[in-house]
Amino acid sequence: DGGITQSPKYLFRKEGQNVTLSCEQNLNHDAMYWYRQDPGQGLRLIYYSQIVNDFQKGDIAEGYSVSREKKESFPLTVTSAQKNPTAFYLCASSMLGLGMGQPQHFGDGTRLSIL
Amino acid sequence: QQPVQSPQAVILREGEDAVINCSSSKALYSVHWYRQKHGEAPIFLMILLKGGEQKGHDKISASFNEKKQQSSLYLTASQLSYSGTYFCGTRGNQFYFGTGTSLTVIP
């Protein structure tokens, strides 16, 4: 079955530590996205990528980094510069990019907490 | 540029109807609707691509008024399974999800 796999489901970060969240899709989608969701809040865009080796910042990119070396993979690194990383992180993909009116398909999310 | 949704929360009895509104201060080029259950990933419901478009499946439908920069989601004869948080989403210079509407259906 095609879909998006995020791992791990739960992640704990120590102060000063970088952590990487994995996102893999086998839907052959061109575009991939990372969102952050805080309790009781909506989704805010961190980064998105419409093609391999290219990505753009969303509204809350500070303290995060991404790479898109393969079409199927879009890992997110939460760096030590992100002072409030505790949140639910969702990865999504769509067949085409932002302007093309395609639905986004989501992974099951990674819940990140500070130790 | 985040769309604003109203109401913020609504409680319904099974079989009642609800309307969720999504408004933007910027031009809306397309509107997505998603439902998210607690602790789960959002699930795509529908996309409206142009003004005047209306779509629906089962008892959930939506409309898009491009001139008013608004979209509405209609849930008729609500079922317990409709409970969750509903988000609209729209494209600006990136993609923006709305503020969310929590919908609870009780027996």
B97–A103 C-beta distance less than 8 A: no
Indicate the residue of B29, B41, B91 with minimum beta-carbon distance to A106.
B41
Kindly give, in sequence order, each residue whose CB lies less than 8 Å from that of residue A1, ignoring residues fewer than 6 positions away: none
- Both tokens of B58, joined, read 């089962």
Among B94, B99, B104, the residue to mutate for chain A (most A Cβ within 10 A): B94
Q: Are B3 and B24 within 8 A, CB to CB? A: yes
- Mutation target vs B (from A7, A29, A43; most B CBs, 10 A cutoff): A43
What is residue A73's predicted lDDT score, i.e. its pLDDT?
Answer: 98
What are φ and ψ of residue A90, in 5° steps? Answer: -120, 135
pLDDT tens per residue across span B15-58: 999 999 999 988 777 899 999 998 899 999 998 887 667 677 77
In degrees and rounded to multiples of 5, residue B64 shows phi and psi of -140, 115
| Token pair in block for residue A78 | 């939460």
CB contact (8 A) between residue B87 and residue A41:
no
Q: For residues B59 and B17, what is the distance between their CA atoms, to the nearest angstrom?
A: 10
> What pLDDT is recorded for position A64?
97
**CB-CB under 8 Å, A59 with B94:** yes
pLDDT for B76 beyond 60: yes
Q: Sort strands A110-114 and A10-13 into parallel, antiparallel or unpaired.
A: parallel
